[in-house]
Structure 1
Amino acid sequence: MITLMQQTPSMLSRSFVNGLVKSQYVPDNPVDALKLDLTRPIVYVLKTKSMTDLVALQRACKERGLPDPLTPIKVNGVIIPSYVCLDNPAPLFGQVKDKNVFFSEFQQLLRLHKDDKVLDIQLMPVSLFWGRAPGKEGQVPLLSLANSISPSRLRKTIIVGLNRKDNLVRFNKPVSLRFMADQHGSDEKLAQKLIRVAKIHFSRQKLAASGPKLPNRYQLFEQLLRNPEVKKAIQIEIEEHNISAQKAKKRANGYIDEIVSDFSYKFVKNTSNFLGWIWNKIYSGIKVNNAEQVRKLAADGHEIVFMPCHRSHMDYLLISYVIYNEGLIPPHIAAGINLNFFPAGPMFRRGGAFFLRRTFKGNKLYATIFREYLSLLFSKGYSVEFFTEGGRSRTGRLLPPKTGMLNMTLQAMLREQSRPITLVPVYLGYDHVMEVSTYVKELSGANKKKESVFQIFGIAKKLKNYGQAFVNFGEPINLNQYLNKHVENWRDDINMPVEEQPAWLNQTTRELANQVMVNINSAAAVNALTICALILHAAPHKALSREILVKQIDSYLKLLRNNPYSEFSTLPENSAEEILDQAIALKKFTVREDSLGQMLSMSYEQAVLLTFYRNNILHLFALPSLIAAIVTEKAQTSIEEINAKVYQLYPLIQAELFLKYSADELSTCISDTLTEMQEQGIINNCDNVITPVNERLMSLKLLAASIQETLQRYAIVLTVLEHDQVIERTKLEDRSQMIAERLSSLNGVSAPEFFDKKVFAIFINKLQELHYLSDAGTVKADKISPLANVVRGLTTLEVKQTISDVMLSQQSSEV
């Protein structure tokens, strides 16, 4: 029988923890997040025996609905503790004598499983951190957490006293002892292995929670100046600009000072408290999904590169806040030099920001210093974050990715192979983005406003409930695994001279960047505002009755629940009625009552603003919308024809909206979508011929309308190409933009990006890639005409006539 370690906590311990200690729990809801089975016994595993830790754990378990760690478990007549520890506290002087003092307890747990083949105890590791400051390189602070793996009772008392408001309780996925015993037996070796693995686990958890030690900023300057590549670049600067070594070194120092971060844990901790207050004022909640996979990557020793989409200046603050409150140390963030102004710049810098210019072109010294600094961050083990779009999206849809930072990340990986580098795409969504009205003005031709302290921190005067914010971590991309799959013999280029680049690097970077964007979109969060904006934008006159809108919300959610776009995307759990009420509460629509009930509508101005939110999730419905458009084109359509048209158009839409389905998956996706439409009673399928159900025709047309603006843009470009068999790229974009602008005015298109040249450029690039159009601008008529006919067949007669009329008008003006 195990000797009980359970002790009754003193009244002083309980009073101290319950009255003075402020704890944070990760995950916040461990039962759901870790999928715990509370019908099976749980034994908690702690790093060091500590009554303060046990009382803090007891409080956490009580608040989160977990079994009490101080209540023993009875197993087949044997009383066992509900917790085990790996170490005793270190003595005040000297070292721990017996490092396996609790070995017998692990052995006894395994022996119980040998005697009872049904028993399945869950071993749940729990890490308790009292402060998470990583410490400084070259310093050994007396009370540093980093220097206190198993602190003495005196040191523990001081640490707890100083950090009572900075306690983190980190629950981890439990290990099944039944599985371990069945797979590996229940002898002494397994007990030793469990202890060894647990110690490694706790060590990695500490590193993930606090991060590596921080460099002294002055020493970092010296380290960069001593870097061989930086020294070479300084010498080139001297020779090319005919300046003194002192002046070149001073210039290099200036660049380093401009670039490097000045990370401060104390600042991050204090800012987190302030931001928590801000978020509670601005938003009713922050929904975080898929964070457990990120914690696992950090605990497994991965170098994490966070790659979020960019919606707002709030992104910088939101991501760092979320990562910190998910039990990880915030990353070093690549921020645009436009944000390096007083007082925001120094504050961002202390929060982990390092700054980069929009272009490195023509400045080899700056480029070298930046590249070597980034490589240094990776080599020291700091997580990094950069926005792969480069700047904020003004339209709500993802921008084409910038590849410079990712290219440098790959180069750093080729030079430093000590830890695996994993990219983590991050989807950010908001019920309210404060800059949207500014974005609309910029898309309409207004000059971009220069960032200022009033713009960044102007939220203070706008503090009110803006709904929710959403942070979804997407499917990670392990760079080693990605290169193994896509680049043959890439390891041959490890440690290649810095001035040289592998032949495969640029193309692989572009493909990898595109995959990151696909993974961001695959982690999209559907919420009340985005789904209502999507539906109302599709409605004639941008207005619907409450009854129809509720039915359409329900239909769309069934479409995504029964055919999930991705395991990383999220949907609201509420009913359609509740979702609509949430959207109405945001006061972004016009709501009025008449004798028949409630009507919801958008004015033109409201519709323009809400385009941003619609575009956040447009990609999720792009394929169903395209299928619906094909089905509504005629009275009946064969599945063969639907497949043919989708296969023809999908690559073009995929490039624009970063859709995830491959050509091999497309047929199954089409079939599943048609099956779901049939289940909902929207269409009939008779001998593989699809016909709309008249009673649900409005629902089908609303779905079909979501892809119409995209198809109209395609129709414009293809009509121009049919008319001008040879045309310069610039002229094609200009002409298409002018037609789109006129079409927007005449047909009431409220999307500002409808006539955005960047969107046309994506389509034209894909036409060239698919050989509809040569690089020289020569049209391949035998391919363009069939495509144009398919696209025009899916647009309305009014749209086709408008395009034709504007084309004639342009020709007349040119003559």
Structure 2
Amino acid sequence: MSRGLSLYHALLKLPLSLLVKPNAVPTDPVNDLGLDLTKPIVYVLPFQSSTDLLTLRTGCQSLGLPDPLEPLDLHGTQVHRYVFVAKGPSIFGDDNALPAASLQRFQTLLEQHRSDSELDVQLVPASVLWGRKPGREQDQSPQLRPLNGPEKAYNILTQGRDTLVRVSTPVSLRYMADNHGTDESIAHKLARVAKIHFSRQQLAASGPKLPDRQALFKRLLQSKAIEKVIQDEAASRNVSEDKVRKEAVDMMEEIAADFSYSLVKHGERVLGWLWNRLYQGINVQNAERVRKLAQDGQEIVYVPCHRSHMDYLLLSYVLYKQGLVPPHIAAGINLNFFPAGPIFRRGGAFFIRRSFKGNKLYSTVFREYLAELFAKGYSVEYFSEGGRSRTGRLLPAKTGMLSMTIQAMLRGLKRPVTLVPVYIGYEHVMEVGTYAKELRGKRKEKENFGQVLRMIRKLRNLGEGYVNFGEPISVNQFLNEEVPAWREDINPIEPAKPQWMSPVVNKLAVKMMTNINDAAATNAMTLCAMALLSSRQRALSRESLEEQVECYLQLLKHAPYSSEVTVPEEPASKLVAHAEEMDKFVVDRDNLGDIISLDREQSILMTYYRNNIIHLFAIPSLIAHVIVQHHSLTTDELQEQVELLYPFLKAELFLRFETDAISPLVETTLKELHRQRLIEIDGMHVSLNQSRIGPLQLLARTISETLQRYAITVTLLNVEPEMQRSDLEQQSQVLAQRLSRLHGINAPEFFDKGVFAILVRTLRQQGYLNDEGQALAKPVANLATLLGALVSPEVKLTIQAVMNRELSQKEEQ
């Protein structure tokens, strides 16, 4: 580097350090991008700029990457660790040519690869975005362009604290040299590819240009689909088309977002303060896969689980911090109250009525608005469960928005659509107390400003939050596999609802929810909650609690549910100590040590956190439960029982494994339980290890309440095989409520009508009921016998006693 340039950099360093606070992504480039720090790294920047270079240097230092200003030594030849792919602006105009100095560096690097077959320099695209304002559609200038001196100075002053440093997946120069040669044309080719990459990167970070709201409404009114429905409505209601058109515009005003970059930029700072006050940290996993989708031009639809009103804010905040544009969010019309509604709308929310069945005008306007978002490339977010989960489990998906997504594709959408499942978890959910009251019968309070103020007053440290991006689902690929001829139903004016729509959407919804569960985050609170709730007295010694949490951790590591699941790296003792700091437990101390327990109220609340991860332990718990109840049995007998019960667990908990994967899964789990010395294996026989029966029993009880529910319904069906489906669900619920009171079962979902509906539907699918809904005697009797052996004698006697009483009352009537 020349002395003059070094002096210039030194002069720039102080003002930049004061004015610029770059956010560098990804935060873990080695793992996220596959960077190899043992190999040479050269950074590729879009425009020749010393301020960009120095800002990149700050970002690289925060990421633990090599300093771009530190020369690279290749066999005694020193090469700059950066190149520019365009000169940028000058007094004579913009110059997009590859700078001569950068061309020379490329040639030097290629020559080194020609002479050294072992050399492999990693070219790392790196861009600095000074603000991420997308601009307006009426502005015809390109989003990514070089800034001249005055523009750059202005951006440093106004956008310095909203600067994004983005490094991307490296390109192997060894691969380029081996496959494309080492002449000068390769350097120019790399520069052209880099320009396309940087342009897509800018679009992924800022999003498409924003429309003028009234221009958007005018464009929507001109769509053939809305024109047709206006004509049809006017004719059917015998009113003027202008009146119906005004109604359509009013609906657009009610629905449409009014996205504001300024609100998002300032909101990021407010939310940063909020998360620092509320949480000890926000853990994010697999954001790089979403960045890649955005750069590849995919239409991204985020489909998160719904735990809390915090979900809207948290996901948008995380995406912005990860260098992505926040999505347009489908929000319930109940959230459109002052002042939250206008703020949400400017933050990207568009509002949807709870039901618009029979309102063709509204459904058409909403569908066209959604199709417009997709066509323009705005990412979209909707909560497919339809509402917040009150129990902590995933709810069956409401398929309305998913159906409209596919209908938008049937209008002839060119861009491929990808669903991104998102698992959102917390160590404390602010509304969990309210959920428990609602499950006990209290009426849901309507959202209002007073409710917001009460929540703000409760701000305190709530542990950690988790945002895990699950495995994406290509909707185009899914349709190609399920309905190869789906494109034949494309109709840009009024796409029909083909016969294949409902079954395919239902299947896609199950896959979507399963992928959310696959990306679950385990943490100190969920693991401790599961252990304590498995104890009959909701109490364990500190040593026993730590031992049980360690049992769970070992299962997750050596018999993993999914590669997407995140597992704490801290030892069990630290996790228990951290959970204790959350002030949920009662800790009593005596001469023998600590007893950690839950009071009755906390026992109910803690089921929420256990239910966040219960699906991860469903199969290990079922295996442990069968072994505990039978004491000793063959592996074939164990396999048979697990395979019979698995379809019910799969349907209820959105488990990922297909039936043919159960056998190897059981085998892997048995090996891990044996490794932990919880069981003994002698050839084909499995039995208890009496010296380690405590942890095995706690593991087994995780699933015991679920099996008790199954026993209730199947026993009812076995006694009254002709019982109608609605009666079966209702009586199962009544019996479960009775059982919960008699045996102190605190889990609110134990008598939830929805879980019985899923169970009865699965009984039908698995061939226990005929087409008329009546029980098939032998299969039901066998299942009843199996379940009867897996519930405790006292629970079994209670079920029989209550049923006998019910039958006696019916006979008297």
Distance 2:97 2:424 in 1: 50
Distance 2:16 2:509 in 1: 48
- After superposition, give the CA deviation of every residue in 1:218-245 in whole Å (9 maximum; x if it has no partner): 1111111111111111112212222222
Which residue of 1 is the match for residue 496 of structure 2? 500
Query: How many angstroms does 1:358 deviate by?
Result: 1.2
Which residue of 1 is the match for residue 314 of structure 2? 318
- After superposition, give the CA deviation of every residue in 1:576-598 in whole Å (9 maximum; x if it has no partner): 00000011000111111111101
Secondary structure (helix, strand or coil) at the match of 1:540 reads coil
Which residue of 2 is the match for residue 64 of structure 1? 63
Which residue of 2 is the match for residue 116 of structure 1? 116
Query: How many angstroms does 1:155 deviate by?
Result: 2.7
Which residue of 1 is the match for residue 262 of structure 2? 266
Equivalence map 1:287-366=2 (5 Å): 287-366=283-362
Which residue of 1 is the match for residue 510 of structure 2? 514
Which residue of 2 is the match for residue 41 of structure 1? 40
Give the TM-score, by structure 1 length.
0.97
8 Å contact from structure 1 (residues 643, 670) kept in 2: yes
Letter in 2 for 1:130: W
- After superposition, give the CA deviation of every residue in 1:285-339 in whole Å (9 maximum; x if it has no partner): 1000111111111111111100000001111100100011100000000001111
Secondary structure (helix, strand or coil) at the match of 2:730 reads helix
8 Å contact from structure 1 (residues 268, 351) kept in 2: yes
8 Å contact from structure 2 (residues 143, 202) kept in 1: no
Secondary structure (helix, strand or coil) at the match of 1:87 reads coil
Residues 26-35 or 190-199, more deviating? 26-35
Distance 1:92 1:369 in 2: 50
Equivalence map 1:270-669=2 (5 Å): 270-495=266-491, 498-669=494-665
Which residue of 2 is the match for residue 788 of structure 1? 784
Which residue of 1 is the match for residue 107 of structure 2? 107
CA 786–496 in structure 1, closer or farther in 2 if over 3 Å, else same: farther
Secondary structure (helix, strand or coil) at the match of 1:135 reads coil
Give the TM-score, by structure 2 length.
0.97
8 Å contact from structure 1 (residues 737, 755) kept in 2: yes
Distance 1:540 1:179 in 2: 61
Letter in 2 for 1:131: G
Query: How many angstroms does 1:6 deviate by?
Result: 6.6
Distance 1:533 1:635 in 2: 27
Distance 2:94 2:495 in 1: 50
Query: How many angstroms does 1:140 deviate by?
Result: 5.0
Structure 2: where are the runs of 5+ without partners?
none
Secondary structure (helix, strand or coil) at the match of 2:647 reads helix
Distance 1:354 1:97 in 2: 40
CA 6–197 in structure 1, closer or farther in 2 if over 3 Å, else same: farther
Distance 2:344 2:492 in 1: 35
Which residue of 1 is the match for residue 18 of structure 2? 19
Letter in 2 for 1:128: V
Query: How many angstroms does 1:385 deviate by?
Result: 0.3
CA 98–613 in structure 1, closer or farther in 2 if over 3 Å, else same: closer
Query: How many angstroms does 1:412 deviate by?
Result: 1.4
8 Å contact from structure 2 (residues 225, 493) kept in 1: no
Matched, 1:164 2:160: yes
Distance 1:603 1:283 in 2: 25
CA 416–93 in structure 1, closer or farther in 2 if over 3 Å, else same: farther
Letter in 1 for 2:128: L
Query: How many angstroms does 1:32 deviate by?
Result: 4.6
Which residue of 2 is the match for residue 51 of structure 1? 50
CA 499–381 in structure 1, closer or farther in 2 if over 3 Å, else same: closer
Letter in 2 for 1:94: G
Distance 2:709 2:722 in 1: 19
Which residue of 2 is the match for residue 133 of structure 1? 133
Letter in 1 for 2:607: T
Query: How many angstroms does 1:3 deviate by?
Result: 10
Letter in 2 for 1:739: L
Identity %: 50
Query: How many angstroms does 1:730 deviate by?
Result: 1.8
8 Å contact from structure 2 (residues 411, 493) kept in 1: no
Secondary structure (helix, strand or coil) at the match of 2:188 reads helix
8 Å contact from structure 1 (residues 313, 456) kept in 2: no
Letter in 1 for 2:132: R
Query: How many angstroms does 1:470 deviate by?
Result: 0.4
8 Å contact from structure 1 (residues 4, 81) kept in 2: no
- After superposition, give the CA deviation of every residue in 1:534-571 in whole Å (9 maximum; x if it has no partner): 11111121111111111111111011101221111101
Query: How many angstroms does 1:61 deviate by?
Result: 2.1
Which residue of 1 is the match for residue 72 of structure 2? 73
CA 32–458 in structure 1, closer or farther in 2 if over 3 Å, else same: farther
- After superposition, give the CA deviation of every residue in 1:202-230 in whole Å (9 maximum; x if it has no partner): 01000000000000001111111111111
Secondary structure (helix, strand or coil) at the match of 1:44 reads strand
CA 376–720 in structure 1, closer or farther in 2 if over 3 Å, else same: same
Letter in 2 for 1:23: P
8 Å contact from structure 1 (residues 9, 55) kept in 2: no
Secondary structure (helix, strand or coil) at the match of 1:470 reads strand
Secondary structure (helix, strand or coil) at the match of 1:163 reads helix
Secondary structure (helix, strand or coil) at the match of 1:355 reads strand
Matched, 1:711 2:711: no
Query: How many angstroms does 1:158 deviate by?
Result: 2.7
- After superposition, give the CA deviation of every residue in 1:114-173 in whole Å (9 maximum; x if it has no partner): 1111112111111100010000111258xxxx5451223333233333312211111212
Which residue of 1 is the match for residue 735 of structure 2? 739
Query: How many angstroms does 1:359 deviate by?
Result: 1.2
Residues 211-220 or 476-485, more deviating? 476-485
Distance 1:76 1:528 in 2: 51
Distance 1:455 1:567 in 2: 39
CA 135–623 in structure 1, closer or farther in 2 if over 3 Å, else same: same
Residues 793-802 or 160-169, more deviating? 160-169
Q: CA RMSD in A?
A: 1.7
Query: How many angstroms does 1:35 deviate by?
Result: 4.3
Equivalence map 1:107-256=2 (5 Å): 107-139=107-139, 146-256=142-252
- After superposition, give the CA deviation of every residue in 1:614-661 in whole Å (9 maximum; x if it has no partner): 000000000000111111122311110111111110001100000001
Distance 1:487 1:148 in 2: 39
Secondary structure (helix, strand or coil) at the match of 1:598 reads strand
8 Å contact from structure 1 (residues 92, 153) kept in 2: no
Matched, 1:760 2:756: yes
8 Å contact from structure 2 (residues 143, 203) kept in 1: no
Secondary structure (helix, strand or coil) at the match of 2:95 reads coil
Query: How many angstroms does 1:97 deviate by?
Result: 6.8
- After superposition, give the CA deviation of every residue in 1:356-410 in whole Å (9 maximum; x if it has no partner): 1111211000000000000000000000000010111000000000111111111
Residues 91-100 or 804-813, more deviating? 91-100
Query: How many angstroms does 1:415 deviate by?
Result: 2.5
Distance 2:4 2:501 in 1: 58
Letter in 2 for 1:481: Q
Q: How many residues get paired?
A: 810
Query: How many angstroms does 1:100 deviate by?
Result: 6.0
8 Å contact from structure 2 (residues 411, 495) kept in 1: no
Structure 1: where are the runs of 5+ without partners?
none
- After superposition, give the CA deviation of every residue in 1:663-710 in whole Å (9 maximum; x if it has no partner): 121111110000111111111111111011001111111111011111
Distance 2:779 2:724 in 1: 19
8 Å contact from structure 2 (residues 24, 62) kept in 1: no
Choose from 765, 770, 773 the match for 1:769: 765
Residues 411-420 or 387-396, more deviating? 411-420
8 Å contact from structure 2 (residues 525, 609) kept in 1: yes
Residues 495-504 or 553-562, more deviating? 495-504
Distance 2:126 2:404 in 1: 37
Secondary structure (helix, strand or coil) at the match of 1:513 reads helix
Letter in 1 for 2:78: I
